[in-house]
Amino acid sequence: MILEKSVVEYLDNYHIGKCYNSYEYFGAHMIHAKERKGVRFTLWAPNALAVSVVGSFNEWDDNIHQMERLNDNGIWHLFIPSIKEGEQYKYKLILPDGRHIYKADPYAFHSEVRPGTSSIIVDLNQYNWNDSSFLQTRQAYNPLTSPINIYEIHLGSWNVKENSTLEDDIYKSLHPKYFYSYREIADQLIPYLKEMHYNFIEILPLMEHPFDGSWGYQVTGYYSMTSRYGTPQDLMYLIDTCHQANIGVIFDWVPGHFCRDEHGLLYFDGTPLYDGIDHPNWGTKKFNFYRSEVRNFLISNASFYFEKYHIDGIRVDGVTSILQMNFGLDNETYVNEYGNGEDLHGVAFLKELNTEVFKKYPYAIMAAEESSSWPLVTAPVEDSGLGFNLKWKMGWMNDTLQYISMDPLFRKGSHDLITFSMHYANSENFLLPFSHDEVVHGKKSMIDKCPGSYEDKFLTLKLTMLYQITHPGKKLNFMGNEIAQFIEWRYYEPIEWFLLEYDAHQRFHHFIKTINKLYLQEKALYEKDYCDEGFQWIDADNCSQSIFSYIRYYNKEDFIIVILNFTPVGYDEFRIGVPYEGEYRILLETKHEPFRKTKIKYVKTEEVPMHNFEQSITISLDGLQGVLIKKKRTKKS
């Protein structure tokens, strides 16, 4: 097959240039060549002595379809006519030592359902998208000044088909027995998201992975969305339907390391082609970010999700392990040329990644799951930052969960666990996560972290969720948090939806729906997340009562006062300073239903100085209660 000059030039440049759409050239593409339909196969394997394509179309005979080496950079290609969509294939590589191995296509767009490992030929351009209105609107989207309320989901365990027993040998029964397909789950999930007022979903990694128990974080197929839940077109339907409902979609992505399964990237052509150092705990290989081909492979992969799947953002997993040669662990096994553990090439990769993404997709969410104190994670690359626009606020999450886990009698001694977060609130553009990682491995579910009686647990969790929704920063909660599930998340079981048959769980579910809706409606809770003028403490020092009070501002006439009482002690009259004279409405009380008052209740200010304000109001404040208060607008406003 004679390739076009532009294709040859691109492939020649792959090993030294910035080729960020490499998925258009590598892999298996259904094309017309010389009036014949077929598939063009292209592979990078510079150290292989020979490569052949084997598959269901040639009875897996490794002698029929030998690939041609295109150039000295190790790019192989072959056009095979008459191959149809759905055919399975692999590459057979002859290694320098004479051995041979069979590898899945690194650029495969679809894969066999595990435990099978073959790649599958598919045409990604056949789906008819219906989200043009959403795509046009998002061009002007600014994540930093918009409400972002994310529902984090693992598709395989959000819900499963009736009578499924996922503890069976998963590898003996394929996905139809257990999982709803992408299409099937769309019809359940999207109405639920709308009902609960989440405006984004973040899906745990969908890239093909061999082991369900890895949750998708040990990847073998970066361009292949897992076949557990159906075809690429089925996933496109899910995303398309989300967009038609004005719900954004974020992919969880793992560009730091890959798993060691033989059919994957490990020692792909008999040499460490993609491979960097070993992770001592995860049993994975770090990517070698020094190689331009590896950077092209990964940055093209990010672009691929935006282009082919219309996603709205990426959560980059394990950023610390990319930044640090020793993965952020307490050792110094590896050092760079300057004698420290910073991975200079990993840093450069992240900057290159974010520069390219925002150049092409300025509306994108690029969120870093970064657990260290690395500076300027969300600063622009031109200002010496890494270039992300959001960073998970892991310190806030850890401090908050530690605080709510304490007996209320001892919380006054750890008051700073709540107040400290505001000391560095604007050092990055933070996202506040209560993610899947916090409800597994013996950490307990969110409600089970809370001490006290059955009722106290629910009251404390309501307080916690109100604290999250009113604290500066975007929001994320893992599925199950919204129904106060008592057991930890198990990837092989669905959420315990039956809990909604119980009054306490149903009321909590309604509470989450209420504050989610309030969050989307009130600009004071999101417009100025990253501005000093968006937040003001009323009283940050009331450790003796474990009561926190602060203001979230949109402007001087539009603000919300937040009062959080983290002890069971209540007060018939609790006085609090307010910034302006007038009438204030009790907007929400966590302890009383309906949570948003149907009968409007106003409190008038008094000229009694309090908390450095000239005016104050008096309200009743029950134990373990949160209250939201909003000033009545004047006529001119």
Q: Which residues are catalytic?
A: 317, 369
Residues 6+ apart with CB under 8 A from 512: 196, 465, 481, 482
- The answer to whether 324 and 370 are in contact (CB under 8 A) is no
**Residue 364: alpha-carbon gap to chain centroid:** 13
Residue 563: its H or E element: strand 558-565
Beta bridge partners of 287: 275
Q: Which two tokens stand for residue 451?
A: 């001490």
Q: How many CA atoms lie within 13 A of 573 on its CB side?
A: 3
Q: Helices (DSSP H) in 172-291: which residue ranges?
A: 182-196, 232-244
Q: Can you state the angle between helices 454-470 and 394-404, rounded to 10 degrees? A: 150
- DSSP annotation string for 281-328: TT-EEEE-TTSHHHHHHHHHHHHHHHHHH---EEEETTHHHHHBTTTT
The SS3 call for residue 44 is strand
- The answer to whether 147 and 199 are in contact (CB under 8 A) is yes
What whole-number distance in Å separates Cα of residue 355 and Cα of residue 345? 15
- The answer to whether 221 and 207 are in contact (CB under 8 A) is yes
Measured at the CA of 304, the angle between CA 214 and CA 284, to 5 degrees, comes to 30
Q: Which candidate, 349, 378, 517, places its Cα nearest to that of 525?
A: 517
